[in-house]
Structure 1
């Protein structure tokens, strides 16, 4: 008889959490393109995850959450997924290709999963790892170092800032009266420090970051049909539906109305 804790024990042995996201790009595709793309994407990623000896925790149309025992396998798999992705999306414009990968060390799986997800959704680089992952990889591969051109490593201070930033954002993101002060006070930095740190981490100033965060939430609400356009605009902190439509079109290339029709079924 198998031990009922076998699965839990295996999870504890798997030390690295990888999150793969392609959400922005996939949600911009029309339904027929989406089906073809996801089929190719899943086939390719599934083969790589099997090759690099991982355990899939969760999978949907645009996200994978995966456990690895070997940090080397996690890093090599991430690089291969990134390399293969550009061939899947070769016929599409570079500006709308979207692939993000985050890898964190696993001492608490939920915390590592949350951090990996935030690295995918927030940090501007395509592959992002924590300092613990870098340290483990370079220890396991003594003559090999992380290539900074392909992988960004967050130092401990950046990891802390990312965690505190997103904890703050998730409490105030739909407040239409948001200002940079709402970041600087809880983060305990001056407005100029917050600005510099956010540019370094996300590539965006605070106002653009919160706007894009709202738009991504709005896109998901529309994809899940959680209300009409005006209702979703208000739910996501946009006072003016016309301004919401303009921002949505600027970011995703289609109007909210067109997007809703594309994903109506």
Structure 2
């Protein structure tokens, strides 16, 4: 049977005891709806509760809650137990709450999400033993940081590492430590063209999206991929860090802290680009209306966030998509050029060579062979 996580936004008068009592009422009648309650999380500061259930469908969970106490979830998503455990460290009740009268669990599901990636890699380096050595060093530095600062590796791909922290301060300090150690390994290898990018956001597991922590993951990835700087913090991460550290202002090289307006613009920009980047006729002026800003403001915001002009920003985005396609297929270069929004294969090859130091065809040949 599928596993679901639901979200309840509760009033300011609700306490951990109240939530525990409501959960017990669910458990008493859950069998009537073929549901099995696995555990729950409650955050008294943010007044949110998240329940984990095995159930035939979402409707069964809604009906059970409605019958038990009338507190219907605001949102329900289907989840994988292993992913839930990776982010939240458990899929059952914590030991210290078991076998108690109410089974009170005052354990927030709020997490700090970190995305770590390598940037500045030429295609030649990406296929070399040197890259494997750098990746191995990053693995070791990341592992040391996770052990020291109590982070959990959720996922690892060729593009990035996805990490979850319970503490905002631990996540930020881990980022500083990981970057510092990795820089030393680069200096030892005399490699100056590579740098680390780390995006850090925070949030709750269930929002209006369909996947767990999707909003926070998307923002962290977008900050890591498109915002200038080596360590980028969301506005919420920065605010919480300051509150946890006596309003300390972080002063470190190549650190970027976004405002809420920056995040709003970045997400709207990337939502629009994600839906329209394959259009060969896409122009920067097309962005103004959906983003609700003038051409001059658009230019200024993209330049200040990414360090690139809007035209360069789009070109870099398309080249990144093209590289992804080349890594997945042995298809026609011309098709990839048009599929990624370039006006001609020759212009695509020119841009690709300038960014990655090799032509698309040469890279494809080297990958296949």
In 2, are the aligned partners of 1:23 and 1:63 still within 8 Å (CA)? no
Larger Rg: 2
1:182-197, aligned counterparts within 5 Å? Answer: 182-197=286-301
Partner of 1:86: 183
Deviation by residue 1:63-113 (Cα, 9 ceiling, x = unmatched): 11111011111001111121122233333553x313211111112411000
Q: 2:116 matched to 1:20? A: yes
Q: Assess, with a 3 A threshold, how the Cα gap between structure 1 residues 5 and 222 changes in structure 2: closer, same or farther.
A: farther
In 2, are the aligned partners of 1:15 and 1:107 still within 8 Å (CA)? yes
Partner of 1:176: 280
Q: Assess, with a 3 A threshold, how the Cα gap between structure 1 residues 177 and 245 changes in structure 2: closer, same or farther.
A: same
d(CA) in 2 for partners of 1:20 and 1:219? 19
Shift of residue 49, structure 1, vs aligned partner: 1.5
RMSD: 2.2
In 1, are the aligned partners of 2:137 and 2:182 still within 8 Å (CA)? no
Q: Assess, with a 3 A threshold, how the Cα gap between structure 1 residues 15 and 202 changes in structure 2: closer, same or farther.
A: same
Indicate the SS of the match to 1:20: strand
1:9-158, aligned counterparts within 5 Å? Answer: 11=88, 13=109, 15-22=111-118, 25=121, 28-90=125-187, 91=189, 93-94=191-192, 96-108=193-205, 109-142=213-246, 144-147=248-251, 149-158=253-262
Shift of residue 217, structure 1, vs aligned partner: 0.6
In 1, are the aligned partners of 2:232 and 2:257 still within 8 Å (CA)? yes
d(CA) in 2 for partners of 1:247 and 1:42? 32
Deviation by residue 1:172-206 (Cα, 9 ceiling, x = unmatched): 11111111122111001111110011111111111
Deviation by residue 1:134-191 (Cα, 9 ceiling, x = unmatched): 1111111116321164421101110100010000100111111111122111001111
d(CA) in 1 for partners of 2:320 and 2:138? 21
Deviation by residue 1:216-258 (Cα, 9 ceiling, x = unmatched): 1111111222623222111101121111111011111222122
Q: 2:302 matched to 1:205? A: no
Which of the pair has the greater relative contact order for Cα pairs under 8 Å at 6+ separation?
A: 1
Q: Assess, with a 3 A threshold, how the Cα gap between structure 1 residues 149 and 50 changes in structure 2: closer, same or farther.
A: same
In 1, are the aligned partners of 2:302 and 2:309 still within 8 Å (CA)? yes
Indicate the SS of the match to 2:201: strand
**Greater helix content:** 1
- What TM-score, normalized by structure 2, do the two folds share? 0.66
Indicate the SS of the match to 2:232: strand
Q: 2:347 aligns with which of 220, 243, 261?
A: 243
Shift of residue 261, structure 1, vs aligned partner: 2.9
Indicate the SS of the match to 2:241: helix
Q: Assess, with a 3 A threshold, how the Cα gap between structure 1 residues 143 and 119 changes in structure 2: closer, same or farther.
A: closer
Unaligned 5+ residue runs, structure 1? none
d(CA) in 1 for partners of 2:122 and 2:135? 8
Give the length in aligned residue pairs.
Answer: 262
d(CA) in 2 for partners of 1:64 and 1:190? 36
d(CA) in 2 for partners of 1:210 and 1:69? 35
Indicate the SS of the match to 1:13: coil
